[in-house]
Amino acid sequence: MPSRRIPDLFRGAVITIDGPAGSGKSTTARLLAARLGFEYVDTGAMYRAVTLLADRLGTDLDREPDLEAVLKEMEGRFRTAQGDGGMRVYLGGEDVTDQIRTPRIDRLVSAVSAHPAVRAFLVKWQRQRAAAGNVVLEGRDTGTVVCPGGDAKIYLEASLGERARRRIRERGESDDARPLAQEEDNLQRRDRADSGRAHGPLRQAADAIVIDTSTLSIEEQVEAVFRACENRLRAKRGDG
């Protein structure tokens, strides 16, 4: 856990940050957690870890019984820890934080995360992590499924073009017209898959605060989310 002193207003709070890929939620959530002295939980990284292991084992990603076997394989091997750059993900003694961020896992993770058995396995674990409070969870269903009673819920969004540019730059690639169009197409397919699945779909919680990050720097995003959470917590706790 981070050692920074937690502000009194935020003590014990559960903050959720959801949104589509490229909206800035991962970096914002990580930096917000560091600012508050909170634990940062990247729920999407957990689905990516399942996907990585399933891919390594040659699993048929369309067959839930096969994925259930992967989940049994993960028990006792899967863990996370807080590092200087946020949450690190381990399978056994192997740090797979970088391996779960490849374009291949980007393409496969939506299919894996759509399966109820996978979601039930990870949501249970995520709720256990959130139970003690002092946590920022980010993903696609943290405010609607994982922690519907969260103290402050944020939903980040951004234009498709800006989201595509961010994803390309994260990979250190050129954001010329052709790669940009391809990435926009990839994101649209991902959005449809994430929003259309029957279990834990990507959607905005009814009481979420929506912030458009299209024109914001990362510093501005973090500040906007911090102020939104601060205002929500003050309202809930009768401090203003």
Structure tokens at 96: 């797979």
Please, which pLDDT band fits residue 2 given cuts at 50, 70 and 90? low
pLDDT at res. 214 = 95
Burial class of 75 by CB neighbour count within 10 A (0 to 12, 13 to 18, 19+): exposed
User: Considering the chain, what is the average pLDDT of its residues?
Assistant: 91
Residue 110: predicted pLDDT:
87
- Lowest mean pLDDT across 64-78, 91-105, 186-200: 186-200
DSSP 8-state symbol, 23? S
* Mean per-residue pLDDT, 161-190: 85
> pTM higher than 0.75 for the full model?
yes
Across the range 201-212, mean pLDDT stands at 93
* Cβ-count burial 49-72 (b if 16+ within 10 Å, e if not): bbbbbbbeeebebeeeeebeebbe
* pLDDT tens track for 28-60: 999 999 999 999 999 999 999 999 999 999 999
Mean pLDDT of 110-134: 93
Question: For residue 72, what pLDDT is reported?
Answer: 92
Identify the weakest region by mean pLDDT among 125-134, 159-168, 173-182.
173-182
Average pLDDT over residues 112-130: 93
Mean local confidence (pLDDT), 180-188: 90
Query: How far is CA 34 from each of CA 12, 55, 98, 197, rounded to the nearest angstrom?
Result: 15, 32, 20, 32
Which domains are assigned to the chain?
Answer: 8-233 (3.40.50.300)
In the 8-state DSSP scheme, what is residue 8?
Answer: G
Q: How do residues 64-73 score in pLDDT, each as one tens digit?
A: 999 999 999 9
| pLDDT category of residue 1 using cuts at 50, 70 and 90 | very low
Give the C-alpha separation, 78 to 2, whole Å. Answer: 21
How much is the pLDDT for 7?
93
User: Helices 116-130 and 43-56 meet at what angle, rounded to 10?
Assistant: 140
Residue 198 has pLDDT above 80, yes or no: no
